[in-house]
């Protein structure tokens, strides 16, 4: 790959004025550049303070630089990180000088790409770098950290190991029919294949939780007009995000805000009141409420504690359950509060969006229900993204096809073809798959040629 011969440089901190800025360079010329600019190439991972002078000898800044020798660096190449004062003009002058000395501007994600190409991380770990940067909650941060440290890679190693074992047994039967091999045992292979499919499906099930961690739990606030939905949104957000009026039906379109509750990020969506006899404009707002409810992860059903229990549109009611809904009895500050039980025994809280009463236990209840969204996959928190999910779905289809062919006693060569396709799909997640491992497993298991 010719582009790996280039030495690249870029700003490693956000653009703008700050206390410090960090300029990073990586590639074959780095060691020579460090010596040329600073007069020495210090021991790896040792920070040095020095004047940065451009190629013309002009002083640019008083900096701190650290040299990282490949392959023991982030990219696997010689790398230098230069910490300068956080004036954007200073950082740009350093970058321009590095470009004048032979570096080129790094492309988006190129440092991580080089780390992958040099075997410093697999693709799932490279993706975790971006997840770590954009984590919106403690749970998202924890998941990204685990993935960066190889949690998904370990899950994939387990799946690939199982599949290689199955494929080796199949291919041994195909490639060495005259050797002293155990007789083909389709039932044994089928049992192992079923276990592999179950493990693959369990990992695939974390896809939705991964989306929740990255984007926040989509939480729809719904209820009849004037139940206090907008007041509840304002109280949860901590500011007057939605206009509040005693006049029913003032929310005609939905509003969205993000908040943190404990270790979870929530996308709060305040919706139009569900009125059984709406005006034409209200009807359009209610249609949008129904649309949002169809895609929601979580519901806060706000009920006026001074009024009879309301009904919900059938399509909305069908989405609500005790696992994804908290009933919020609002207006407990008023003297005419009912003592009814929550509908369908849903978890319920009693609050006053006006005074803030009851919000401490309300936050606890939200966190408790949010915890239940976590999909378990072994002992580690493992979540996958859309790319991983696509690859796993592809692998599952291939495994299903192999399963059907085995069950129908169809030619073993066709079974092996499906299994190899599944192996390629697994390899898309880590970015690599070594088919020689199949042969290694075969010889380890069957002493071919004695």
Residue 159 sits in a domain whose CATH number is 1.20.120.430
Q: Domain with 239 in it: what CATH number?
A: 3.40.50.300
Residues 6+ apart with CB under 8 A from 354: 228, 231, 331, 333
**For every one of its 450 residues, what pLDDT tens digit does the chain have, with 9 covering 90 and above?**
556 789 999 999 888 899 999 999 999 999 999 999 999 889 999 999 999 999 999 999 999 999 999 999 999 999 999 999 999 999 999 999 999 999 999 888 888 888 888 888 888 888 888 788 878 888 888 888 888 888 888 899 999 999 999 998 888 777 665 554 455 577 888 899 999 999 999 999 888 888 888 888 999 998 888 888 888 888 888 877 654 545 554 555 568 888 888 888 899 888 877 766 555 666 677 778 788 888 889 999 999 888 888 888 888 889 999 889 999 999 988 887 776 666 677 898 999 988 999 999 999 999 888 888 776 555 567 778 888 899 999 999 999 999 998 888 788 889 899 999 999 999 888 776 554 554 454 444 443 323
User: Which two tokens mark 69?
Assistant: 């020798």
For residues 35 and 69, is the Cβ–Cβ distance under 8 A? no
186 shares its domain with 274: no
Helix axes 412-430, 386-407, angle to 10 degrees: 170
Distance CA 341, CA 305 (A): 11
Judge whether 375 and 137 are in contact, CB under 8 Å. no
Count of domains forming the chain: 3
Measured CA angle at 161 (ends 160, 167), to 5 deg:
85
In a domain, 131, yes or no: no
Instruction: Pick the last residue of a domain from 321, 352, 371.
Output: 371
Q: Which helix (H) or strand (E) holds 80?
A: strand 79-85
Q: How far is CA 402 from CA 190, 225, 298, 428, 433, in A?
A: 9, 55, 38, 19, 20
Domain assignment present for residue 96? The answer is yes
Q: Where are the alpha helices (DSSP H) in 27-150?
A: 30-38, 88-100, 110-117, 123-134, 138-148
Structural domain range at position 269: 215-371
Alpha-carbon distance of 25 to 52, in angstroms, equals 15
Measured distance CA(404)–CA(401) in Å, rounded: 5
pTM over the 0.85 mark = no
Closest to 210 measured CA to CA, from 292, 155, 271, 291:
155
């Amino acid at each position: 790959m010719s582009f790996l011969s280039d030495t690249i440089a870029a700003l490693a901190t956000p653009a703008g004025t700050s206390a410090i800025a960090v300029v990073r360079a990586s590639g074959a010329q780095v060691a020579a550049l460090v010596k040329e600019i600073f007069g020495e190439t210090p021991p790896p991972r040792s920070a040095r303070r020095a004047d940065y002078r451009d190629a013309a000898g002009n002083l640019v800044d008083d900096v701190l630089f650290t040299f990282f020798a490949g392959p023991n660096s982030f990219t696997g190449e010689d790398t230098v990180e230069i910490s300068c004062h956080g004036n954007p003009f200073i950082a740009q002058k350093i970058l321009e000088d590095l470009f004048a000395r032979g570096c080129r501007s790094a492309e988006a994600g190129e440092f991580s790409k080089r780390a992958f190409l040099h075997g410093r991380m697999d693709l799932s770990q490279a993706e975790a770098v971006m997840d770590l940067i954009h984590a919106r909650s403690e749970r998202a941060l924890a998941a990204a950290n685990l993935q960066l440290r190889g949690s998904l890679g370990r899950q994939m190693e387990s799946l690939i190991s199982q599949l290689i074992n199955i494929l080796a047994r199949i291919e041994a039967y195909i490639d060495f029919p005259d050797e002293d091999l155990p007789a083909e045992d389709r039932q044994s292979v089928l049992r192992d294949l079923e276990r592999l499919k179950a493990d693959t499906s369990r990992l695939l099930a974390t896809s939705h939780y991964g989306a929740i961690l990255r984007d926040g739990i989509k939480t729809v606030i719904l209820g009849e007009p004037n139940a206090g939905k907008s007041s509840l949104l304002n109280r949860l957000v901590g500011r007057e995000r939605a206009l509040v009026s005693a006049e029913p039906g003032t929310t005609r379109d939905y509003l969205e805000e993000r908040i943190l509750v404990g270790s979870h990020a929530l996308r709060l969506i305040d919706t139009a009141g569900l009125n059984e006899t709406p005006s034409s404009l209200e009807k359009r707002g209610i249609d949008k409420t129904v649309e949002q409810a169809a895609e929601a992860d979580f519901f806060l059903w706000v009920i006026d504690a001074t009024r009879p229990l309301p009904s919900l549109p059938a399509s909305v009611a069908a989405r609500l359950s005790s696992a994804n809904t908290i009933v919020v009895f609002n207006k407990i500050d008023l003297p005419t509060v009912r003592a009814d039980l929550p509908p369908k025994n849903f978890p319920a809280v009693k609050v006053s969006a006006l005074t803030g009463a009851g919000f401490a236990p309300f936050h606890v209840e939200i966190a408790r229900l949010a915890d239940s969204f976590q999909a378990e996959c072994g002992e580690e928190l493992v979540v996958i993204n859309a790319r991983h999910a696509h690859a796993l779905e592809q692998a599952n289809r291939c495994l299903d096809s192999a399963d059907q062919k085995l069950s129908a006693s169809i030619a073993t060569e066709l079974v092996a073809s499906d299994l190899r396709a599944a192996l390629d799909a697994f390899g898309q997640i880590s970015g690599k798959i070594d088919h020689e491992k199949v042969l290694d497993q075969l010889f380890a298991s069957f002493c071919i040629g004695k």
